[in-house]
Amino acid sequence: MHAAFFLLLGASLARFLLRHPGEARTPWIIALSITLALLYVLGPVLGPTAVTTAPTAPAASRPAPRRLVWLGAVVAVWVVLVVLAPSFAWCAVPLFYTGLRTLPSRAALALVALLTAFVVAAQLQLAQGGFDPNLVVAPPAVAAVATAVFVHMQRQAARQRTLIDDLIRTRRELAATERREGTLAERQRLSMEIHDTLAQGLSSQQMLLQAADRTWDADPETARRHVRTAESIAERNLAEARRFVHDLAPADLAEGGGLEEALRRVAARESAAFRVDGTPAVLPDRVQSALLRIAQGALANVREHANARAAALTLTYLGDQVVLDIADDGTGFVEATSASTGGVRGHGLPAMRARVRQLGGTLTIESAPGEGTVLSAAIPLEHTS
């Protein structure tokens, strides 16, 4: 539009100078043309115009007074030029867009109608050989097309702004949701880590110290053995706490030897048997960590609740999955169904199920009153590679 305006202005001035050389009004026409060009150039300097056609548009989106003064000056100079030289009438087409961009809808349409009327009058003044209907119809048609194009562009721009706003809002909501889910997942993971290590260790220490207190007078040697065992558990818990601070990896795995050695150490501390079946395979770190935590939690439950005489761990490699079985000959669950669904006291079984579920595996429990319990965690390897 800017280029079209200056092209039409220059062509109109050249036409006037070629057809009316040496007239008294020529200096005025040249001066007004230069003034109109300078005023038009001044428009972008006043800042962008952002007029919205929405009925709830804020007051801040209305044109500033200086923009109105500038537009009025441009139109006034152009009107004077058209009165002096009707050939400048077609400069109105770029001015249509200038008015539509600057003014609210109704005021802009009124300005377009006014400019169109001046164009029609100028064309009729230039007409030679009688009345020509095209001179009356063509300017309003051009104005209507220009207005329709502008309105269509405005609507398209409004739709794009709405889509962009919706996209930005959706991205923000998605980011906030992901942050919340990540926070909840991390809290759940930390709660499982703490339950399977520090909480279980503290519970064992409490039981051992209570037992030592009860037997201290009658059997000092047994009481001291309980205290030494509690001290060993406290040392292990301290190592786990330091491991949390470092990288949250299980301390038994950090000592080296892989999952088998870590499970062997855990079983030895709990006086449980340990066996490996199948051909050992390299397991991802998160699978090793999950199986180790499940073994720790299961053996802690055996120690605290099962009243078992013996327990055994079996790690089985089946090619496409790895299975960890923890069996004991304790009292079993009073209600096997509630146990299998995690309805027992505490957080141990729900934490185990959550760990296995995150790796695409399954956790099954077989138990009956007086017949012990077998807990089995199966994790497919193809989902964890």
- 332: number of Cβ within 10 Å: 21
Q: Where is pLDDT greater, at 227 or 64?
A: 227
d(CA 192, CA 287): 15
pLDDT on residue 239:
75
Local structure of residue 369 (DSSP, 8 states): T
pLDDT over 50 at 337, yes or no: no
| Phi-psi sector, 342: left (phi>0), alpha (psi -120 to 50), beta | left
Q: Mean pLDDT, to the nearest integer, of 195-220? A: 84
pLDDT on residue 338:
39
d(CA 106, CA 93): 18
Q: Are 90 and 119 in contact (CB under 8 A)?
A: yes
Q: Mean pLDDT, to the nearest integer, of 212-239? A: 86
The confidence band for 373, taking pLDDT boundaries of 50, 70 and 90, is very high
pLDDT on residue 53:
44
- Between 23-37, 119-133, 270-284, 314-328, the lowest mean confidence (pLDDT) is in 119-133
Mean pLDDT of all residues belonging to the chain = 81
User: Helices 105-126 and 65-84, interaxial angle, to 10°?
Assistant: 10
DSSP alpha helix (H) spans, the chain: 2-19, 26-45, 65-84, 92-102, 105-126, 133-194, 200-215, 220-246, 251-254, 258-269, 285-301, 336-340, 348-358
Q: Are 102 and 82 in contact (CB under 8 A)?
A: no
d(CA 343, CA 362): 17
d(CA 359, CA 258): 19
At a CB cut-off of 8 Å and minimum separation 6, what does 54 contact? 158
Residue among 62, 46, 58 at smallest CA distance from 108: 62
Give the domains, in start order, of the chain with CATH numbers.
2-131 (no CATH), 258-385 (3.30.565.10)
Q: Mean pLDDT, to the nearest integer, of 311-331? A: 92
Residue among 373, 186, 210 at smallest CA distance from 298: 373
- Between 126-140, 339-353, 364-378, the lowest mean confidence (pLDDT) is in 339-353
Strand order in the sheet with 373-380: 273-277, 311-317, 321-328, 373-380, 362-367
d(CA 226, CA 154): 82
The confidence band for 49, taking pLDDT boundaries of 50, 70 and 90, is low
d(CA 125, CA 128): 8
Q: What's the pTM?
A: 0.42
Burial code (b: 16+ CB inside 10 Å, e: under 16) for 40-54 equals beebeeeeebebbee
Question: What are the structure tokens assigned to 23, written together?
Answer: 């007239």
pLDDT digits (tens, 9 = 90+) for 55-78: 444 444 566 788 888 888 888 998
